[in-house]
Each structure stands twice: as structure tokens, then as C-alpha cells.
Amino acid sequence: SGLALAQALEAQRTAAGEAVQLHGGVGFTWEHDAHLYFKRAASDELLFGPVHRLRARAAEREGLFAEPDAASASATASTDGHRARKAVAV
């Protein structure tokens, strides 16, 4: 799923960045494998897309950010109008 991929990419990027930081300058040189993980994390993000877009696409598929249809939009508007009148009356 898109959310699992987003979580995995974020964890991969964080772990690779921390490994480079932990090993200091040698972590980004050819003598250590940490640079390979860091570069793989960057290339995977280019291949699959940024994490925020993967999460947005998954939310859109589930209908979390769907545009309201006309019936629900009018119901929301009438409810909001009722709240506004009630607030003025108080």
C-alpha cells in the first residue's frame, strides 16, 4: 500500500542519514557502506515519489480529502448557518 511505502521510505531515509552522521566523514566515503544506503534512499524517493505525495495519494484513494457532493455541501452550509444564528442569539 502507499502508506506502507511512505513509512518505509521515511524510515530508510532517516536510518541512512543517521548512519552517515554516526560514522562522520568516513560514512560518506567509499571506504564505508553507509553512503550506499544513503544514495539508495535518495534514489528510491526519486523512483517512488516524495513521502508527502504518497501519503496524499493514499488518503485520496480512501476518500479522506474528497470534495463534498452537492447534498452534503448544502447540509453543512445549513448547519453552519444554524450555528451562526445560535451564536448571535447568545
pLDDT given at position 66: 61
Profile the chain (90 residues) by mean pLDDT over runs of 10 residues: 90 92 81 88 92 91 70 54 51
pLDDT given at position 2: 84
d(CA 43, CA 35): 12
pLDDT given at position 69: 60
Q: Would you say the pTM of this structure is higher than 0.85?
A: no
pLDDT given at position 6: 92
Q: Are 30 and 82 in contact (CB under 8 A)?
A: no
pLDDT given at position 7: 94
Only one residue has cell 521510505, namely 9
d(CA 3, CA 64): 13
